[in-house]
Structure 1
Amino acid sequence: MEPATVTSPPPLPTVGVPREAPYMDIDHIRARCSSGISVDAGWRPLLITLDAALTKADPELRYIQISQKYGRLLVYTTSTNEEARLLIHRAEELASRTCEMCSDLGASLCQRGSWLRTLCPRCAAEQHYMAVQRD
């Protein structure tokens, strides 16, 4: 018997998303999330893409929590599926370069007081955040 192999999951998008991102509906994701979703509109397109890929990888998957903490996307699920885990990791990595507010790529970790967010230069300036080095 040969050992099981995990196929590489399809890549998540690596280009900017439409400006209508704040209006993208995520109720279908929220309905499967026990603790709610706490991220800004700029990450909604990423969540929609991730959810579609996760649904294919593990149709029974439920979300425990989707949130932003210290400028990072955190996605907790009930899945033990390896492909789902890899997809979540890719989405979290992509979010670290995607503006939480407008979805633009090229975002970086920014700070205002004790608050950390992932923002593009324009949104950082509008919100009075300064870019900082990510650990």
Structure 2
Amino acid sequence: MNEELERTLLSKFPEIFEITEAVPDDFLWGIHCGDGWVPLISAMCQQLQLHVETTGRPQIVAKQIKHKMGILRCVFAGTDDYSNGVINTVIGMSFVTCEMCGNKGVLARGSKGWIRVLCDQCRLANPG
């Protein structure tokens, strides 16, 4: 993920990523996926934080967000049935969302063996 996009997510959802004032501005948390999934991750974090704030539940904390076997993999601590449903919905959406640009995509194996969700245009531009 583009560093600027990651920093934007970290600043929007500091509680979820356990960002404190002591963390330097150039800190990166380590979200490993394409830029096209940023809207999915942002919507997920927004719903999770809203759930915490409206229910008084303990803070939900991200432990890992990355691309694995072509789809989004998310690990959080402090989840309940509702928040797991939000997370699973976003993971399901990653099956049909181009990881590079966010358009409609399909899961496929590239010529170098990588499995990714890409739209036709991004697949042609990145055949690996």
TM-score (norm 1): 0.71
Structure 2 partner of 1:67: 66
Could you say which structure has the higher helix fraction? 2
Q: 1:30 to 1:58 in 2, by over 3 A?
A: closer
Structure 1 partner of 2:115: 116
1:128 paired to 2:127: yes
Q: 1:32 to 1:55 in 2, by over 3 A?
A: closer
How many angstroms does 1:101 deviate by? 0.4
Structure 2 partner of 1:79: 78
Structure 2 partner of 1:53: 47
Work out the CA distance in 1 between the residues paired with 2:82 and 2:41. Answer: 16
Unaligned runs of 5+ in 2: 19-28, 54-58
Work out the CA distance in 2 between the residues paired with 1:124 and 1:30. Answer: 34
Q: 1:30 to 1:116 in 2, by over 3 A?
A: farther
1:38 paired to 2:32: yes
Work out the CA distance in 2 between the residues paired with 1:74 and 1:110. Answer: 17
1:26 paired to 2:9: yes
How many angstroms does 1:31 deviate by? 7.0
Check the 8 A contact 1:63/1:76 in 2, yes or no.
Answer: yes
CA offset digits 1:94-126 (Å, max 9, x no partner) = 111000000002x11122222111100110111
Work out the CA distance in 1 between the residues paired with 2:49 and 2:15. Answer: 14
How many angstroms does 1:81 deviate by? 1.1
Work out the CA distance in 2 between the residues paired with 1:31 and 1:88. Answer: 17
Partner SS state of residue 64, structure 1: strand
Unaligned runs of 5+ in 1: 1-21, 130-135
Worse-superposed segment, 43-52 or 55-64: 55-64
Count of paired positions: 107
TM-score (norm 2): 0.74
